[in-house]
Structures are given as structure tokens and as C-alpha cells.
Amino acid sequence: MQVYLIRHGIAAERRTYADDEQRPLIDKGRDKTTKVANRMLANGLKFDLILSSPLVRAYQTAEILQQVGLAKTIKTFEPLKPGGEIEPWLQWLQTCQLKNPQGKLALVGHQPDLSNWAEILLGGSVKNQMVLKKAGVIGIEIPQIGIPIARSTLFLLTSPKWLIT
Amino acid sequence: MQVYLIRHGIAAERRTYADDEQRPLIDKGRDKTTKVANRMLANGLKFDLILSSPLVRAYQTAEILQQVGLAKTIKTFEPLKPGGEIEPWLQWLQTCQLKNPQGKLALVGHQPDLSNWAEILLGGSVKNQMVLKKAGVIGIEIPQIGIPIARSTLFLLTSPKWLIT
């Protein structure tokens, strides 16, 4: 099973909204994210499902992925909020994997959480050694059976500049 | 300092040459590698130096990088041969870093050695958890001072399909 961890696009500056969760993507962020999404589609990628942080900037990113045709369905997933732990997702995954062991899943969220999760899947602990830019993508293959922690493999890590021409 | 670890392009099949070190790139390998190199150039990348495995398929890959204008100089580096250890390169690096702490370096070589070296730079040990396809690229930022082992960061890992349109 392949998991693509996708960071939200460029959003309005911090402190420009009373509620940080409401900060939306700015035009530049929408534009870059759309180009990244179209590039993924052009490369034949499709997701069985997008799980998104409920925060506006993340959910808008997920909607762009959906709108270009990368996935039919978005589900908000609370543990993808900033500071969320990976454990609830691992529990969710056990059910998901049983249904579709060959599936492709997108997780849309925030930093440093996404690279933290990736590092846990790869090595079992957070090391702060992966750089994930806004609208950047991490691709991880998780094993079909058993706990994926420290047993997954990394096949993609890129900033949007390598996906946009 | 940024280090780009680049795997050689698609070469003639194993056992088609009496001496494995002489296997050249095939046309498809040259074509893909040229596209990857042109994409890197289009993104503004330039290398201060390419260190290459002396094996034909690697050196031909390095020559393609050079020919598109990514670097002026290629040096063959014996430890980049299959099975080579990272230590001699770390020693070489100490001198190189003193000269150009902000530099960009390309290493052209083989698998699993390149991802092994990358894993050592990131986490201190080989874990076989990074997938590096032929003509694929790993990008690692190493600290300006001190030993880079377990202290570097990963900013790029991609197969050629994300670099070729």
C-alpha cells in the first residue's frame, strides 16, 4: 500500500486570522497546488481516498486534489490536525488495509507532523531530518501485513519545484 | 552543502558483457538520463563537481550531466564502485568542505550503495528503506561543520518519472 503525505499549499500569513484554523490558501498557493495535482494525475496517480486535516488550508488543498480528478472522496481526519499523533491513524489503517491492501492513500496535513509520521513509519522515531515544503509530497510504501512502524520504505520526497514545469 | 546522489541510467543487461564494469548505457537509458539532466538544469541546479564511479554505465551518466551543462568537471572516485564504503568519501569531503562549504556536489554510482550512503548520512546505519531507481536522485543537505553521519537532512528522493514530462 502506498501512502502519499502531502503538505497544504501556501496559505495566508499567520496571525492574519483570529482563528488559525481558518487561514485559507492564497492565490499563489492554489496555483502551485493545482500544478502539483495535475502533475500527479499526468503521471497516472489516483488515490482511493484522501484523508485531510480539517483545517481550512489543508482541506482546500485536498479539494484541489479532488477537483483535478486524483480522488473521488475526501474524509476529514482529526489526528491530521497540527500536533496530531500517528497512533489513531495506524488504528484506522488496520481496517483500511484489510479492505484494500494494494490501495493508494493521500494524507493532507501540516508540518512538522507529516515528516514526523514519515520518520516514524521509516525508522520508528522522529528525527527532524526530512524537509517537506508547502505542496510538497512524501511517498511511502507500507507493508501489506503487520505494523508499518520502522518497516516501511521511502520512494518519494519532493518539493513542488520538481513537480511543476 | 548539498549532495545529490544519482544512480546511473538503464544499462545493457547483466551478463551481456564479459566484464560487468564495461556495460554501457542503452539508448533508453541515455534518453531518460538526458531528460533528467535537462530538468535539473531547467530548475537552476549546477554542480561544483561530479564524482563518478569509474564503471562505464556510471561514467557515461556523469558525462550526460556534464554535457547538458550541470557541471564542468567529472572526477572518477573509486569508492563509488559497487560495494564501496562511505568512509573514504567522508575523508575526501572534509577537504572539499573546507574549500566550498556552500557547494553542490553530485555523486554518480550504483545501488544499493547510494541509498546505503544516504541512510548512513541520515540515520547512521543502513536500513534498506530507500528506493532509488535508475537515473533517480537523492538530495541531502549535510552540515557545514563536523561529521555528517546521522546529522544530515533529506530534501529530495525521486525516480526519473517525476523529473521527466
Helix ranges, A3-160 (H): 27-42, 56-68, 87-99, 113-123
> What are the pLDDT digits (tens) for A113-165?
999 999 999 999 999 999 999 999 999 999 988 889 999 999 999 999 999 98
Q: What grid cell was written down for B71? A: 557541471
Q: Give the DSSP letter string of B113-133.
A: HHHHHHHHHHHSS----B---
- Say yes or no to pLDDT of A98 above 80: no
Q: Give the DSSP letter string of A126-139.
A: ----B---TT-EEE
Q: Which of residues 63-122 of A touch B (CB under 8 A)?
A: 122
Residue A103 CA: distances (Å) to CA of A2, A49, A96, A106: 6, 9, 9, 10
> What are the pLDDT digits (tens) for A2-61?
999 999 999 999 888 989 999 999 999 999 999 999 999 999 999 999 999 999 999 999
Between these two residues, B146 and B101, which has the higher pLDDT value?
Answer: B146
* Domain total of chain B: 1
Which residue from A39, A131, A163 is facing B153, i.e. has the nearest CB? Answer: A131
Percent of chain A clearing pLDDT 70 (strictly above) = 99
CATH code (residue B31): 3.40.50.1240
The beta strands (E) that lie in B8-136 are given as 49-52, 74-76, 104-109
Identify the domain containing residue A39 by its residue range: 2-164
Contact between residue B29 and residue B10 where contact means Cβ atoms under 8 Å apart: yes
Which one of B3, B155, B161 makes the best mutation probe of the A interface by having the most chain A beta carbons within 10 Å? Answer: B155
pTM of this prediction?
Answer: 0.96
State residue A161's pLDDT score: 96
- CB-based contact (8 Å) between B158 and chain A? yes
Nearest CA in chain A to B126: A123
CA distance A137 to A8: 10
